[in-house]
Structure 1
Amino acid sequence: MDKVNILLIDDQPAKLLSYEVILEELGENLIKANSPHEALNLLLKTDNVAVVLIDVVMPQIDGFQLAAMIREHPRFQKLAMIFVSAVQIADTDHLRGYEIGAVDYVAVPVVPEVLRAKVRVFIELYRKTRQLEALNADLEARVAARTAELEAQTEQFRRSEQRRSIALTAGEMGSWEVDVASGNIEWDEGPYRIFDVDRASFTPTVERVEAMMHPDDREKNSLATVVASGQDRFQLEFRIIRPSGEVRWCYGAGVIARDGDGTAVRVIGVTVDITERKRAEERQLVLAREVDHRAKNMLAVVLSVLRLTKAKSTPDFVSTVEGRIHALAATHNLLSATRWQGASLGQIVEEELAPYRTDHRERIEAGGPAAMLLPATAQAVALALHELATNAAKYGALSTEGGHLRLVWTIDDKALVLEWTETGGPDAAEPTSLGFGLSIVRSSIEAQFRGGVLYDWRPGGLHVRLSIPRAQIVGASAAEKPAPAAAREAGSKRGGSLAGRRLLMVEDEVLVGMMARKILEELGATVLGPYGRLADGIAAAKSERFDGALLDFNLAGELADPLADLLVARGVPFVFITGYQRDSIDRRYANIPVLSKPLEADSLERVLVSLLEPPRRRAIEA
């Protein structure tokens, strides 16, 4: 089978490169154009072009204008065109694109599998259309020699083929044809299914179909209104009411055939049930509002931590704030994994105690029944446990060689009770006033949830009893003990663990890049960047010498896949730094380390040292 040509049009070389990487496995010829002028020249010189990929936003001439210019040429009136857009496209722009002749839209960041699937469909449609044209040419030659009776059958066949072609273009959902004079409608199986009526008992007419439209949509979408508009093509969205009373959303598109006087004779089109799409849009709107709400709440919490944290020096302040933010971030990750339904108490406990298990594994005991905490409760408990653990490491049982920490919890009909017991450490003398950390524990449990906090200052260590109303628990079951997390590497290697290393950093968040660069330079590394754009990162990767790299997975709306693939191909070790969950990253990068934002200095150091240390890798030469 001969290869077809796919024309890629974009003024940004980096995007063209990413499209080329995504589509090369289709095995077709890929032609690239950096400007509308170059694209038009290539179209005129090239035959067998099946699909055109057009960037909506380009200088001088945008994608819509270029598509209109292409459509004006007789050779390209049926050419499949897909718009690629990195900005939100309004409904009017969608309508404008479809009127020009666009067949689909693809949003940035591009999902490789989706883009390949869309292009593959139109390539197959192109080939089948060419085959159909050849068959039609042969059929017309035969029809010319046939009798008048066969000519009538040929006309019926032509109309059937026209309806089928439109239905295929619209998604193969349901096609129809209206005789304007009589008001009779011919349906295929699709509309019967969409309207949920029986072919044997329901005869479609304009009057009957319009009677099933929602009253608020009926007049503006009636056949009379569409015909009177003077347009030859139309697209509509409307609601219908099924015989059962169920309301469904539909999309309708069609063409109006007129006689020599301009009078509408026939209307041919398709109807698609878009109810699920409308529901998805509604869910997306609700989700956007919820994300905005949660983001503002989290920012408020972070701001409060910053305002209320006190320290004797700047390094102490940074360390304290970093620990508290990390506690919130760890709980946020647990909640994200359950889509904010709740977080496991056992996992929260393990997250907060994991940093101390390296040096104190045998001296820390924790366990209790499985319990899923509500989101707000999970965050408060995580912060409270973080403060207690920090206090134990600085002043309590974990600050001495012989100290022991035991954390157990129980659940009864009224409450979840956590018992924090330190033994073998310094005597715990009751202070005249609680410090900020222990004040957080009391405030988060008592004020926020009407729970109870009891401090018992004992010889050998502090005992704390936290009581949380059972209403704050999503579920409780048999006993669980949190599985030990991988022990963190003991001791910091700050001051030279990355000495002599050259690291490429590609990160579009300025503050995150600055913080990461500062940490890496403190570890002795030389940092190239940070580069904020994918194209700049790729250029640096091709021209600079470096030992490893740090990549943000999403760079101003562009996925870092092309750069990651380049590094993998050249054997350069790298790590992703991202706010996404691990399962949001392509599976082909399953072996690449992922660090979640906000970055933790110790974790960053540990991952990079493990990635770069023996056998020592030679610096990659461009």
Structure 2
Amino acid sequence: MDHEKVNILLVDDQPAKLLAYEVILKDLGENLVIASSGREALEVLLKTEIAVILVDVCMPELDGFELAAMIREHPRFQKTAMIFISAIQVSDIDRLRGYEMGAVDYVPVPVVPEVLRAKVKVFAELYRKTRELERLNQDLEDRVRARTAELENSTAKLRESEERRSMAIAAGKMGSWDWDWITGDWMWDEGQYRIFGVRPESFQVNPANVQALLHPDDVDQLRRAMAEFNKGARAYETEFRIVRPDGDVRWCVGTAAVTGDDSGRVVRVSGVTVDITERKRAEERQNLLAREVDHRAKNALALAQSIVRLTRADEVKAYVNAVEGRINALARVHTILSLSSWQGAELSKLIDEELAPYSLGGQIKLAGSEVQLLPATAQTLALALHELFTNSAKYGALSTRSGRLAIGWQVEDELLTLIWEESGGPLVRPPKTRGFGTRSLLASVESQLGGQAQFDWRAEGLLCRLEVPLVRKTAATTAPGKFEASSSAELQRASG
């Protein structure tokens, strides 16, 4: 059987004896290394890995005992096998000394070749097996270290993955659960408890308790989904609502998957729950906004259509100016309402917007506190103010530099009272007929807003009193599409 050769060191100061040892040990098939003195043997040991040392006890300079002591002092050679050869009869004390120096055996002279070969062979084989075992142990340790490192790396990745999953679940308002179909045992993670608004230490997860947290309208839907598993379904996804113990209703989307045994029987159901309440609310807000935008657009278009259709003028230019002025008034109030996200508009801003086209200096005096108007009220009142400013600029106090206009308003018991008082302008005569502007103003204030509009055509200037309810249930509950219809109808009646 082929095996790796080991080195055997032969130490003796007599060449003839060294040659004899070589002849005796040649048949072992090992590497024989020669050293003719103790010092030469030490040099060989430092350069070569030696399995067995065969050393003569009686040598000049360093005898066998002294060489053995020096060899044993080196950590590398503390276990190297040494066989002493002695040409003199050694006593038990000498043997004891040799053993103390690290010798493993004695061979007397004359040497019996078979005995020497047997002894050297045993220790050479022992050395070989020892080295093989060390290599195997080293290989095993390397593999253990590699496997340990692999497991540690795998564990670290698993821990990191779990941390990422936990972070994702926390950030994404997610929870996971597991249901043993056979025993009925449930397992919820922290996210699942958080979504349902309960605490692990006080809430027992079982079908009855879980069902008690489901919205009554969604219980049958989930029960049917679970029943499908017995019919072969392997996964489902559905939206449902839960009612937390504090009464908060949450929208969730749930996904579940089945684990079956070899026969296909359901043994476990696992799933994930995601809280989508914010998404649902955003969708509701978006739908409401879409309906509101549609309503506002239709309302504005209906008003613009009515203005275009019902405006009267003797000349094309006058007609265009009248239409543009009224549509611009609508556009201005629309901008104000858009800036407030259609929450309302301040009366003073409506007046300022209508004043903007005129360079009147100190002709106008305003007095009143801040009043927030609802969108519908703001639109209607903006058109009414536009008509008053337009008529005043054409025929009233604002048509001359000497004219003065005072606008004052106050609120009492949710009723806005606005006084428009002109003075210092041209002589005023009561009109024989009411124009479109006056009639549309009356129609919008009285019919649309449920208020009153009173005109006093005094000689020194117009005095107009508008009373507008700030809260009107009929207006607040008007369905989309009705406001524009009523606006158009009122303007049509105003046109006479």
What TM bracket, shorter-length normalisation?
0.5 to 0.7
CA contact 1:371–1:473 (8 Å) conserved in 2 = no
SS state at 1:174 partner: strand
CA contact 2:257–2:269 (8 Å) conserved in 1 = yes
SS state at 1:370 partner: coil
> Displacement of 1:355 after TM fit?
0.7
> Displacement of 1:428 after TM fit?
1.5
Name the amino acid aligned to 2:463: V
The 3 A distance-change label for structure 1 pair 290 and 463 is same
Residue in 2 that maps onto 1:213: 214
CA distance in 2, matches of 1:440, 1:472: 21
The aligned runs of 1:110-129 (5 Å cut-off) are: none
Aligned match of 1:239 in 238, 241, 246? 241
Residue in 2 that maps onto 1:14: none
CA contact 1:166–1:270 (8 Å) conserved in 2 = no
State percent identity of aligned pairs.
47
> Displacement of 1:345 after TM fit?
1.2
CA contact 2:409–2:419 (8 Å) conserved in 1 = yes
CA distance in 2, matches of 1:323, 1:160: 67
SS state at 1:262 partner: coil
- For residues 80-99 of structure 1, give each alpha carbon's deviation from its aligned partner in whole angstroms, at most 9, with x where no partner exists: xxxxxxxxxxxxxxxxxxxx
Residue in 2 that maps onto 1:375: 375
Name the amino acid aligned to 2:428: A
SS state at 1:295 partner: helix
Residue in 2 that maps onto 1:467: 466
CA contact 1:342–1:373 (8 Å) conserved in 2 = yes
Stretch deviating more after TM superposition (425-434 or 159-168) = 159-168
Residue in 1 that maps onto 2:393: 393
> Displacement of 1:309 after TM fit?
0.2
SS state at 1:361 partner: coil
CA distance in 2, matches of 1:415, 1:242: 43
Residue in 1 that maps onto 2:404: 404
CA contact 2:345–2:372 (8 Å) conserved in 1 = yes
CA contact 1:397–1:422 (8 Å) conserved in 2 = yes
The aligned runs of 1:293-332 (5 Å cut-off) are: 293-332=295-334
CA contact 2:230–2:266 (8 Å) conserved in 1 = no
> Displacement of 1:219 after TM fit?
4.1
Aligned match of 1:275 in 271, 277, 285? 277
SS state at 1:191 partner: helix
SS state at 1:355 partner: coil
How many residues get paired? Answer: 327
> Displacement of 1:191 after TM fit?
1.3
Q: Structure 2: which 5+ residue stretches go unaligned? A: 1-142, 474-496
The 3 A distance-change label for structure 1 pair 289 and 473 is closer
CA contact 1:373–1:473 (8 Å) conserved in 2 = no
> Displacement of 1:349 after TM fit?
0.8
Residue in 2 that maps onto 1:421: 421
- For residues 553-608 of structure 1, give each alpha carbon's deviation from its aligned partner in whole angstroms, at most 9, with x where no partner exists: xxxxxxxxxxxxxxxxxxxxxxxxxxxxxxxxxxxxxxxxxxxxxxxxxxxxxxxx
CA contact 1:451–1:468 (8 Å) conserved in 2 = yes
The 3 A distance-change label for structure 1 pair 381 and 214 is closer
Name the amino acid aligned to 1:328: L
RMSD: 3.8
CA distance in 2, matches of 1:338, 1:227: 52
CA contact 1:174–1:272 (8 Å) conserved in 2 = yes
CA contact 1:176–1:186 (8 Å) conserved in 2 = yes
Residue in 2 that maps onto 1:183: 184
The 3 A distance-change label for structure 1 pair 290 and 158 is same
CA distance in 2, matches of 1:322, 1:377: 21
Aligned match of 1:355 in 323, 338, 357? 357
CA contact 1:212–1:242 (8 Å) conserved in 2 = yes
Residue in 2 that maps onto 1:517: none
Residue in 1 that maps onto 2:266: 264
Q: Structure 1: which 5+ residue stretches go unaligned? A: 1-137, 475-622
> Displacement of 1:220 after TM fit?
3.6
Residue in 2 that maps onto 1:195: 196
The 3 A distance-change label for structure 1 pair 305 and 427 is same
SS state at 2:371 partner: strand
- For residues 421-471 of structure 1, give each alpha carbon's deviation from its aligned partner in whole angstroms, at most 9, with x where no partner exists: 3333221222211211122222223343454433333445x3222231454
The 3 A distance-change label for structure 1 pair 380 and 198 is closer
The 3 A distance-change label for structure 1 pair 139 and 218 is farther
> Displacement of 1:323 after TM fit?
0.9
Name the amino acid aligned to 2:172: G
Name the amino acid aligned to 2:335: N
Name the amino acid aligned to 2:250: R
CA distance in 1, matches of 2:161, 2:449: 68
Name the amino acid aligned to 1:142: R
Residue in 2 that maps onto 1:336: 338
Q: Which protein is bigger by CA-based radius of gyration? A: 2
The 3 A distance-change label for structure 1 pair 332 and 175 is same
SS state at 1:296 partner: helix
TM-score, L = length of structure 2: 0.56
Residue in 2 that maps onto 1:435: 435
> Displacement of 1:473 after TM fit?
9.3
Residue in 2 that maps onto 1:522: none
Residue in 1 that maps onto 2:252: 250
- For residues 373-416 of structure 1, give each alpha carbon's deviation from its aligned partner in whole angstroms, at most 9, with x where no partner exists: 23333222211111121112222233233333332234445853
CA distance in 2, matches of 1:143, 1:262: 38
> Displacement of 1:370 after TM fit?
2.0
CA contact 2:251–2:280 (8 Å) conserved in 1 = yes
Stretch deviating more after TM superposition (430-439 or 168-177) = 168-177
> Displacement of 1:188 after TM fit?
1.4
CA distance in 1, matches of 2:217, 2:235: 23
The 3 A distance-change label for structure 1 pair 160 and 208 is farther
Aligned match of 2:147 in 132, 139, 142? 142
Residue in 1 that maps onto 2:51: none
CA contact 1:237–1:249 (8 Å) conserved in 2 = yes
The 3 A distance-change label for structure 1 pair 365 and 167 is closer
CA distance in 2, matches of 1:240, 1:403: 68
Name the amino acid aligned to 2:257: V
CA contact 1:256–1:267 (8 Å) conserved in 2 = yes
